[in-house]
Amino acid sequence: MLHNFGSINLDHIYRVPHLVTPGETLTSHGYRVGLGGKGANQSLAMARAGGQVRHWGRLGRQDAWARDLLEASGVGVDSVELVDEPSGHAIIQVDDAGENAILLFPGANHGFTEAALDARLAEARPGDWLLAQNECIALPYLFEAARERGLHIAFNPAPMTADAAELPLEACRLLFVNRSEAEMLTGLPAGSAASALLDALASRLPATETVLTLGGDGAWYQVGETRHFQPPMPVTPVDTTAAGDTFIGYYLAALQDGEGPEACLERAAAAAALGVQRSGAAESIPEAAEVARWQRQTQTPNTP
């Protein structure tokens, strides 16, 4: 079983002719509300991939529909608490040129206590996986407590902050990072080669399995002296929102199925490639059957 300690956000998306300027009142010509948050997206991706995942989260009571959506997709939601406070949410402007501006309110995602985390950890078994991102609080405590209980920790330090770089990352068995996150963790300059990033990550975390995602440049897996490369899939992106979350959920589902790193990379890359051809976050995450068809149609050798 995988337990995902993750954010659940409501995305309020407004289509506007241009991004609002200070002092301006602007009428939007489109509006919708969707499920978001990196935690929720990753749980959805893993469930749609056929994985077994329980989500640990907090939502405002008035937004129970978001929990229902997770449950309908196959996510275990008995540890999603409904509370009398605002849910995490984002106000997103998208202009006619495709540019966006986002205002994020953490809300209930930042209401976890150590006692609440202990209660959830007590339900996990040694050998279970714990997945976390950087949109909830109390991560230093959680990492140490989970390690003491014999859980395998997978971590995606997004959104990347200086605090995330100071976490006890050696407690992680598996680390997912994109290029900018890897640069911040290693102190290397922007635009550093993938090989340099992998070398620096291996030096800092020699026992941690690392997956480095590079968008249109593919993805790498490494642990110790072992490295595997996954080439990018040949697609024209429409919207890259939730692509990284889709990749992570599908990778972990493949790992749960007993697949090796190369097969995990391939399945995750195929799922992300399908997702970026659709608009939206949660709604862009594909189902397992679609991904299997895509893999059969786009077989490429795993060579850098």
Catalytic status, residue 245: yes
pLDDT band, residue 214 (cuts 50/70/90): very high
Residue with tokens 């550093």: 192
Structure tokens given for 270: 């195929």
Q: Please tell me the predicted confidence (pLDDT) of residue 300.
A: 52
pLDDT, tens digit, for every residue of 225-265? 999 999 998 888 877 878 999 999 999 999 999 999 999 99
Q: Please tell me the predicted confidence (pLDDT) of residue 94.
A: 84
DSSP state, 57?
A: E
For the cut 50, the answer to whether the pLDDT of residue 80 exceeds it is yes
Q: Quick check: bond before 159 cis, omega within 30?
A: yes
Phi/psi for 261 (5° steps) reads -55, -40
Q: Please tell me the predicted confidence (pLDDT) of residue 303.
A: 46
What's the mean pLDDT in 168-189?
96
What share of the chain in percent tops pLDDT 90?
Answer: 82
Whole-model pTM?
0.93
Dist. CA 83–CA 161, nearest whole Å: 27
Three-state secondary structure call for residue 158 = coil
Catalytic residue among 11, 63, 128, 245: 245
Averaged confidence pLDDT in the chain: 93
For the cut 60, the answer to whether the pLDDT of residue 218 exceeds it is yes
Closest CA to 202 of 225, 219, 220, 179: 225
Q: Please tell me the predicted confidence (pLDDT) of residue 41.
A: 95
Half-sphere exposure of 80 (CA within 13 A, CB side): 27
For the cut 60, the answer to whether the pLDDT of residue 270 exceeds it is yes
